Structure 1
Amino acid sequence: MSRGVSKSEELYGDFLRELREIERKWQREWYERGIFNAEPDPSRPKYFITVPYPYVSGPPHIGHGRTFTIGDIIARYKRARGYNVLFPIAWHITGTPIQSVADRIMRGDPEDIKLYSWYVSLYVSDENKVKEILESFKDPWNIAKFFASVYANDFKAMGYSMDFRRQFTTGDPDYNAFIIWQYYKLREKGYITQGSHVVLYSPDEGQAVGEHDIRGGDEITIDILEFNLVKFKIEGENRYLVAATLRPETIYGITNVWVNPSIKYVVARVNNEEWIISRPAAWKLSYQGYKVKVVGEVSGEELVGRFVMAPLINRRVPVLPASFVDENTGTGVVYSVPAHAPYDYVALMDLKNDEKTLSRYGIRDLVKDLEPISIIKLPNYGKYPAKDVVERLGIKNQGDKDKLDEATRIVYREEFYNGVMNNNTLFPGMKVEEARKRTIDELMKVNAWGRIYEVEPRNVYTRSGNPIIAAVIKDQWFLNYGNPEWKEKAFKCLNSMRIIPERYRKNFEDTFHWLSMRPCARKRGLGTRLPWDPEWIIESLSDSTIYMAYYTVAHKIKSSPLAKELGDFARRVIETRGGDSEALNAIMSFFDYVFLGIGKASDVAKIFNVSEDLINDLRREFTYWYPVDERHSGPDLISSHLSFFIFHHVGIFPEEYWPRAITFNEFVIREGMKMSRSLGNVLPLPDIPRHYSSDLARLYIASAADLETTLDWREDDVANTASRLQRFWVIANDIIRRGKPSGVGGLSFISRWLLSRVNKVIVEATEDMERENIRAYALGAFFGLLSAVERYLEVASVSGVGQDEINWVTWYVLERWVKLIQPLIPHIAEELWHRMGNETFVSLEPWPEADKSLINEEVDVAINLVDRVISDIQEILRVTNIKPKTVHLYVGPPIEYYEIVKEASRLINEGKTMGEAIRSIISEPRFRRMSNVVANLVSKYIDGTIPRNIISRDVEIRVFEEMRRYIAYKVNAEVVIQDATKPTYDPENRARNALPGRPAIYIEKQ
């Protein structure tokens, strides 16, 4: 998994090693001096930005690197724009992931021992020390402590401008007190309930599980499906063959019941009835509110050929064999509706043609007369929609599972939304959607209905490797996100927030709509115990909703007696199940005052035996920094953490403290593939400063993809970025080495062009950063400006621009450039800033201000005009294969031509046709005798021969005269600039062809 030398290091090793030294140097300076430690300052506007704290069950990787780097770029930009920025960090350790790791290491799991040995070796080179640390990981707290400490160092090594004083872990005793306060506030509002609801559950671990507890839970969407159970009484017995279906309204079209002959079914006594179902179904039902006892066993083969009675229609139907029936889905029994279920149709056709099976079970006569029964009318389909779709997709048999799944989705969707029940059902003419509900009601009346819950996808496991099922848990604690009042406030907050990119807003809206009962506690793992019922531990995402408030005061709590006092009070509350009123009152009084302004500082100070000034100071910190101005994250957290973040804020805090913005970036892949341990392509964050450079990685992360696009880390592209970074480094140091002259006189066109360009880039970069268009900012402020400076140096040196002028202009540019790119590559910017003789930190310098008086569109057009002419000459030489001696450029036709083109531009932009523009211009007395010229110029303006933007005749002549030597250099020939109205040499009368913005060209051969 990503160790060794990177391609960038192979190609630019010396340069990158120099950068790493520079990075370490400035990190020491920044963090030892605490320049990013944020203190309230009422004289300055504040900006509070957070990124979700990482779960520290292992080292960070480049995916973390992308999200935190983008967050840091924003933080640095806001700081440069004059904001007092708080960018804090903490460490998430609660839940089962860390506990599961400890359990697996305790058991000697070879895969985890190998993995965590590698993790530790990223930071520790001594093999004996690695083994010693790994042994300590049998205690989950040691895992949390180790990775929390190395995370902080990894983030410092990336140059993140964080206030590291405010660190805490979610297992700290004082943090437990904060969570106790949060949960009592939610309980007071009626947002926490206890009851029986269906949840994701691990029977082996005996608890409900959340996303953090599930292996890959942050990468997959997990749903709970409700299957209907339909009971078929077995002919001649007092037992039921129980089938599971998502479509109970299709019971009217039943032809038979399917079982898998290779399955061993069980006879289970379920709520005083005997059911025949699969063994996994009996196990699942025992967790879903049914009383289940297995009393026997029967093979699928024994059931084939038996008859059962279909409820509601009282039709006698046979039990037949089918290989597609899965014992792990539903009950392992399926009733067959071949007219409307593709699997059933294909299975019936397969069976009709399977002489061996028909003979083996003696069911030939039973099967040969079975035909689909149509019960639903569907527009644009025949009598049997399942048959239509099976034939359209070219499905051959039951083994064609992917196509059958697709066929099932098509038929089920079409029939649900567009189907109408036939006359051979209980509800003729009724839409399928309504008939489903009514059929369930009828099945319930005859005691033929039940339900079973399934997890989708099927094979989901906890981080400890235990299976997860859907279970109905009694006395489970829930956050009732379905509370109408709470949901309404959450929507109000969402509607007031910036969401960037905006397209993610709908994800929030969809999540808010379906959010209802969310289990908020479980029975094992690390975390804060539910204070009034401490057998339960508050679930890992449920304790991570308003912790941003704790950032505002954590450093002052931990540096005072408050941390110990709060921890002691939390312990007492939990030990007494909330019965210690003194301890509970202390916690509630403290946080009520600090975060809500309820009560008196003097009373709180007295309880904790601290100064009133300290308590008021905490309140001032909170009121200064709150609300959260921006939460930057990955979109995978929308359906859980980020939605909870909004709900809990509106549930506890007044509106003035509701969050203001949530921004996103997508994920990272590597060389076109998703990063995974199995592929061995994970790129750990600690490898970045070792095998690349932090600034190189930051530059690549920012420039390689838009925030809403997956970032593909490709070694070739990273190496190309290193090449441009090295070029910038060389140019910047050359500028510094030459020094800054005291001043210069008049400036050349090319110098004025670069001054215009840098000020224009400042304007554009500011606009991009305000919109958080990070990639556009990186491409313009670094790569675009680098190309402009390279072009300037080439043109200026060839055109004879004086060295003092070059030095003055490039120093002017570099002074602003270094400030402009410090959010992007802060270590390099800091080093260059100090090499320029500055003693301040560029990380704290204000954003460069654009001098708009130097932005000159005419100069830009003039330089682009020269480039176009060079391109025209080069194309002529390529096509004719001429070896040029002299190139004559006839520049500047009569001034009236320029006036005509400008008037044509105005008229065309107003929507006039070519004819209308020509007639309008000719109607002016001064152009009346120039009708042919006018028609020619307007035509050439429209077809693009004449550029859309032209400059004055005088400026056009001057720029070509000034850049004559550069043109000669680019075309490798002598260049003569001639006034097109009075040429001194024009053997082929080319001057008459000169147009505004398009000089005529005559080339003399060698």
Structure 2
Amino acid sequence: MAERWQREWYLNGVFNANPDNSRPKYFITVPYPYIEGPPHIGHGRTFTIGDIVARFRRMMGYNVLFPIAFHITGTPIQAVADRLSKGDAEYESRLRREVGLYINDPVKVSEIVSGFKDPWNIVNFFKDRYIEDFKAMGYSMDFRRIFMTGDPHYSSFIIWQYVKLASKGYLVRGRHQVLYAPDENQAVGEHDIRGGDELSIDIIQFNLLKFRLGDSYLVAATLRPETIYGATNVWVNPNSTYVEALVNGERWIVSRVAAWKLQYQDKEVKVLREFSGSELVGKVVESPIGAKLPVLPATFVDEDTATGVVYSVPAHAPYDYAALVDLKRDADTLRRYGIEELVKGIEPISIIKLPGFGKYPAKDIVEKLGVKGQGDREKLDEATGIVYREEFYNGVMAENTPYSGVKVNEARVKVIEDLRGRGLLDTMYEVEPRRVYTRGGSRVIVAVIKDQWFLNFGDPTWKSLMIKALGEMKIIPESYRQNFKATLDWLSMRPCARKRGLGTRMPWDPEWVIESLSDSTIYMAFYTIAHRLAETGLASRLGELAKRVIETKASDKEALDAIVGFYDYVFLGQGDPEAVAKALGVDRGVVEGIRAEFEYWYPVDQRHSGIDLVTNHLSFFIAHHAAIFPERHWPRAISLNNFVIINGRRMSKSLGNAIYLKEAVNKYSPDLVRLYVAYSADLENVMDWRDEEVDTVLGRLMDIWNTAQVIVDMGKASVEPRTLSIPTRWLLSILNRTIAEGARALEEMRIREYALMVFFNLYDAVKTYMTIMDELPRDEVKYTLWKVLEAWVKLMQPITPHMAEEIWHNMGNTTYVSTEAWPRVEQQYINDDVENAFKVVDRLIEDIREVMRVSGQAGTVNVYVGPPEQVYEMFNDVIDMMGKGAAIRDIIRTLANRYRGRGELAARLTNDVASGKLPRFKLSRDMEVNVVRSFKTYIERRLGVKVVVQDATTPINDPTNKARQALPGRPAIYVEPKPANEAPL
């Protein structure tokens, strides 16, 4: 079924979008995928949501462009090739599995994987697989517009982008700290890092304080230099390897790994000797403020964090306090190093006053959290976070420091200035988290690069533009706006080029390749013209020009001017189209047509993505549009969905639990995958793919399919009935309310709610109606169910397009349901009274079950519905007054005055509505009575017992006087004892 409709859609270009001035346009994009492997269910969630939006907008009358392209820039694909070339057996095994999803021949799989040592073979193989898989999911994309970021003509577009950024002063070159892979000799970004789309990676600046030891300095790292006044000792790890090294001409003692890192941080480092940390234990050093302090052993000290040396402030640092307590209790260690006397006299020195804490905040929090020792890292990390945060924002320096009364955050600045001025403080940068690796397996550290290319997001002019663009943009869910604001506020100097990997080379300096997140910021504009470039031959011409620019380091002015002139005209409307066309060797009408196509589609109406891209790509997307395009072409909306996990665990290829889209479609079907994605979680929630839940959704999908076939087999009524029964009026009300509220739900991206409406609530209503349809006129039933199915199948289409298309054509239609308009709301059918009355039926069923359970009776059920009309009047008055916010006491008083002699009933009705015993919606007596009677058979089939519905004002059989207990929305119930010989219903 699915293959048939996919074949028809894509062969006939059903979703190819061309400018059409008779319709409003809607341009939606999803970040193009990085194709170092096949798409997985995480891609499936994001792209399926994008497709649901595209299909919905198409139904609402929009001319929708939903394109796709492929990202290959940077090192991830190169890393795959490198790992294979190095003989990484584990990685090769994974690739065999991935290729084997598509190729059944093991010999062919081996040939293909062997060829992956050339990164372009990876690109070409997985590009085609993505297209196959996305078509297999039924995505309504315009596949004519496909390009890759490694295409020569795409490089011409990136050259233009960077010429524009340079002309505005936003592209700079200079010295700055960057994430760096020494083994690969290049700066790296999030896309280059293993797990970089999941990790929050920061660069942290440590202050290095110099402690005099003979003619050397023992260099300790800290984030809190103001605490030097509370230092009692220095910690080293006795089991780590340290070095004495010349660092910019000074003798420093640091860990061996620290010396290695420092040489990449603009420091000249020459190692003189190596030795064990135990050699330092027991020595006495002079602190930067002149205090004599012992060097003591501590296992919590990590040689791979900063210098591998820390000074101890046990009054204000939980790790230091715990380590000091441990050491004082460790008689063996004290004897081994002969430091008993040194340690015995050490007591914490309080230097910060902190409200809510005692003299020693570190001691307070360690004891409060029940820290067991310096090895209790989880609790110590929590304790450290609490103390450091509280002291930084609320602490004041004590009288025993030179900064008495000064706030901690101000004292820190003063201490740094003082110690730096005296040559006793330096800096060092670290990655957080500490151990990060590239996709190729190389260690990532922080380096200070002199000639690195940067995008200066901190430029005040640019910053104000990007903040303005965010302010004018819709963010869905709105709660993520603060994440964007925080990112844009924080963005400053961002390295934008690497020396390795695929992509566009910096035109003035081809040694550098523009990195993967920096060349994927405004490519949505390229979607609007990519197919036209191919059709007119301009793709080839622009590719040749880009090659000339790069080969000549942008000194080929003719080539550079032709590129810049073309994109300036197409995207910015600048320049003379005649001159642009002449420079490219095409007719003027060609470039004018390309310009018109861009103008028709831009700006991006909606960018849908995963939340992991907020802090990089999506923020860069906003920033680059603000920098280059006029305000009318700034993006209009960004929507986001959360991550996907598998059976409660993080999905990861390295964990071996990734579900590939190909596997999911083969196992379940595309529509089931789409429905599960839509139904299983709201956008802001993590989607947990659970196989057993998928099977449950499959059951519902099959039920809907079977129900639709029954309706199709019944056929369409020849005439519309003159009058409609209550059940028909109820079903048509549910249908039209779903049409109206469903449109609002999709408009607001409440996709899970929409899936529940269409595939669960509406189905339940149809099945309920079909339960009693034999009691209704045959032509009325056929008319109603056909009318419902005709709209229902359109409502299914955004989520389950293949099933919808099949049902649509089974009904005898020759058009594609994928291009049908949203069903029209027939307002005359929406009836609150009948819908509210049916809610009484559902609650009545539960009440009967409870009565049967408590009484133990299972005979005929007598239902007494509809107290006198005046009770309904009073009940509806309660609903009105509660809706206006009246207090319960005031409602009772008002009703008691209005209905003389019925104060007790007024109080009961009011209290029962307030407590939930009675419904909070209005009811009419006639409708409630008629609905309960109309759905008597439905009630019987739900309960498996015989039901007799009686008017509570004139009961025929009421042996226990239950009828008088009936209230609006709460019929009374009497269950007769079941005769011994009575057969089940």
TM-score range, shorter chain: over 0.9
Matching of residue 726 in structure 1 with residue 702 in structure 2: yes
Q: Secondary structure at the residue paired with 1:762?
A: helix
> How far apart are residue 894 of structure 1 and its match?
4.1
Moved more, 557-566 or 699-708: 557-566
Partner residue of 1:298? 275
Q: Deviations over 1:62-99 (max 9, x none)?
A: 00000000000000000000000000000000100111
Q: Secondary structure at the residue paired with 2:807?
A: helix
Pair 337,831 (structure 1): closer, same or farther in 2 beyond 3 Å:
same
Moved more, 598-607 or 210-219: 598-607
Moved more, 888-897 or 530-539: 888-897
Q: Deviations over 1:819-874 (max 9, x none)?
A: 11100100000011111111100000001111010011121233333444454444
Matching of residue 441 in structure 1 with residue 417 in structure 2: yes
Partner residue of 2:480? 504
**Residues in 2 aligned to 1:933 and 1:353: alpha-carbon distance in whole angstroms:** 76
The answer to whether the 8 A contact 2:256-2:274 is kept is: no
**Residues in 2 aligned to 1:941 and 1:79: alpha-carbon distance in whole angstroms:** 44
Partner residue of 2:263? 286
5 Å matches for 1:22-171?
A: 22-171=1-150
**Residues in 1 aligned to 2:203 and 2:489: alpha-carbon distance in whole angstroms:** 16
> How far apart are residue 260 of structure 1 and its match?
2.3
> Among residues 425, 428, 432, which one is paired with 1:456 in the alignment?
432
Q: Deviations over 1:445-468 (max 9, x none)?
A: 221111111111111111111111
The answer to whether the 8 A contact 1:522-1:536 is kept is: yes
5 Å matches for 1:736-885?
A: 736-743=712-719, 744-797=721-774, 800-884=775-859
Partner residue of 1:476? 452
**Residues in 2 aligned to 1:263 and 1:935: alpha-carbon distance in whole angstroms:** 79
**Residues in 1 aligned to 2:868 and 2:282: alpha-carbon distance in whole angstroms:** 102
The answer to whether the 8 A contact 1:89-1:167 is kept is: yes
> How far apart are residue 357 of structure 1 and its match?
2.8
Moved more, 445-454 or 150-159: 445-454
> How far apart are residue 43 of structure 1 and its match?
1.1
> How far apart are residue 320 of structure 1 and its match?
2.4
Q: Secondary structure at the residue paired with 2:453?
A: strand
> How far apart are residue 418 of structure 1 and its match?
1.9
Partner residue of 1:8? none
Partner residue of 1:355? 331
5 Å matches for 1:371-382?
A: 371-382=347-358
> How far apart are residue 185 of structure 1 and its match?
0.3
5 Å matches for 1:432-831?
A: 432-743=408-719, 744-797=721-774, 800-831=775-806
Taking only aligned residues, the RMSD between alpha carbons, in angstroms, comes to 2.2
The answer to whether the 8 A contact 1:195-1:475 is kept is: yes
Moved more, 758-767 or 673-682: 673-682
Q: Deviations over 1:257-310 (max 9, x none)?
A: 222223332221111211121111111111111111112233323322322222
> Among residues 893, 899, 902, which one is paired with 2:873 in the alignment?
899
The answer to whether the 8 A contact 2:700-2:759 is kept is: no
> How far apart are residue 443 of structure 1 and its match?
1.1
Pair 697,937 (structure 1): closer, same or farther in 2 beyond 3 Å:
closer
**Residues in 1 aligned to 2:854 and 2:880: alpha-carbon distance in whole angstroms:** 36
The answer to whether the 8 A contact 1:378-1:419 is kept is: yes
Q: Secondary structure at the residue paired with 1:447?
A: coil
The answer to whether the 8 A contact 2:194-2:437 is kept is: yes
Pair 139,792 (structure 1): closer, same or farther in 2 beyond 3 Å:
same
Pair 202,913 (structure 1): closer, same or farther in 2 beyond 3 Å:
closer
Pair 907,570 (structure 1): closer, same or farther in 2 beyond 3 Å:
closer
Moved more, 684-693 or 955-964: 955-964
The answer to whether the 8 A contact 2:864-2:966 is kept is: yes
Moved more, 334-343 or 629-638: 334-343
- Which letter maps to 1:112? Y
**Residues in 2 aligned to 1:174 and 1:335: alpha-carbon distance in whole angstroms:** 57
- Which letter maps to 1:75? A
Q: Secondary structure at the residue paired with 1:884?
A: coil
Tell me, which stretches of 5 or more residues in structure 1 are unaligned? 1-21
Partner residue of 2:225? 248
Q: Deviations over 1:507-549 (max 9, x none)?
A: 1111011100000011010000000011111011000000000
> How far apart are residue 416 of structure 1 and its match?
1.5
**Residues in 2 aligned to 1:769 and 1:745: alpha-carbon distance in whole angstroms:** 34
Pair 865,354 (structure 1): closer, same or farther in 2 beyond 3 Å:
closer
Q: Deviations over 1:174-226 (max 9, x none)?
A: 00000000000000000000000011011111111000111111110111111
> Among residues 158, 176, 179, which one is paired with 2:158 in the alignment?
179
Partner residue of 1:3? none
Pair 916,405 (structure 1): closer, same or farther in 2 beyond 3 Å:
closer
Tell me, which stretches of 5 or more residues in structure 2 are unaligned? 980-985
> How far apart are residue 114 of structure 1 and its match?
1.1
**Residues in 1 aligned to 2:529 and 2:709: alpha-carbon distance in whole angstroms:** 43
**Residues in 2 aligned to 1:332 and 1:832: alpha-carbon distance in whole angstroms:** 69
- Which letter maps to 1:42? N
> How far apart are residue 123 of structure 1 and its match?
0.9
> Among residues 199, 210, 229, which one is paired with 1:220 in the alignment?
199
> How far apart are residue 632 of structure 1 and its match?
0.3
**Residues in 1 aligned to 2:392 and 2:684: alpha-carbon distance in whole angstroms:** 34
Partner residue of 2:982? none
Q: Secondary structure at the residue paired with 2:520?
A: coil
Pair 711,937 (structure 1): closer, same or farther in 2 beyond 3 Å:
closer
Matching of residue 272 in structure 1 with residue 249 in structure 2: yes
> How far apart are residue 355 of structure 1 and its match?
2.9
The answer to whether the 8 A contact 1:750-1:863 is kept is: no
What is the number of residues matched between the two proteins? 977
> How far apart are residue 232 of structure 1 and its match?
1.7
> How far apart are residue 243 of structure 1 and its match?
1.4
**Residues in 2 aligned to 1:251 and 1:151: alpha-carbon distance in whole angstroms:** 57
- Which letter maps to 1:827? H
> How far apart are residue 31 of structure 1 and its match?
0.3
Partner residue of 2:983? none
**Residues in 1 aligned to 2:949 and 2:384: alpha-carbon distance in whole angstroms:** 76
Pair 374,802 (structure 1): closer, same or farther in 2 beyond 3 Å:
same
Q: Deviations over 1:758-796 (max 9, x none)?
A: 011111101101111000000001111011111111122
> How far apart are residue 912 of structure 1 and its match?
5.4
Identity across matched positions, percent: 58
The answer to whether the 8 A contact 1:532-1:574 is kept is: yes
Moved more, 261-270 or 175-184: 261-270
**Residues in 2 aligned to 1:706 and 1:91: alpha-carbon distance in whole angstroms:** 27
> How far apart are residue 1001 of structure 1 and its match?
4.9
Q: Deviations over 1:624-675 (max 9, x none)?
A: 0000000000111111100000110010000000000000011111111112
Moved more, 533-542 or 854-863: 854-863
**Residues in 2 aligned to 1:51 and 1:759: alpha-carbon distance in whole angstroms:** 32
**TM-score scaled by structure 2?**
0.95
Pair 294,747 (structure 1): closer, same or farther in 2 beyond 3 Å:
same
The answer to whether the 8 A contact 1:762-1:781 is kept is: no
Moved more, 860-869 or 785-794: 860-869
> How far apart are residue 976 of structure 1 and its match?
5.1
The answer to whether the 8 A contact 2:149-2:155 is kept is: yes
The answer to whether the 8 A contact 1:377-1:422 is kept is: yes
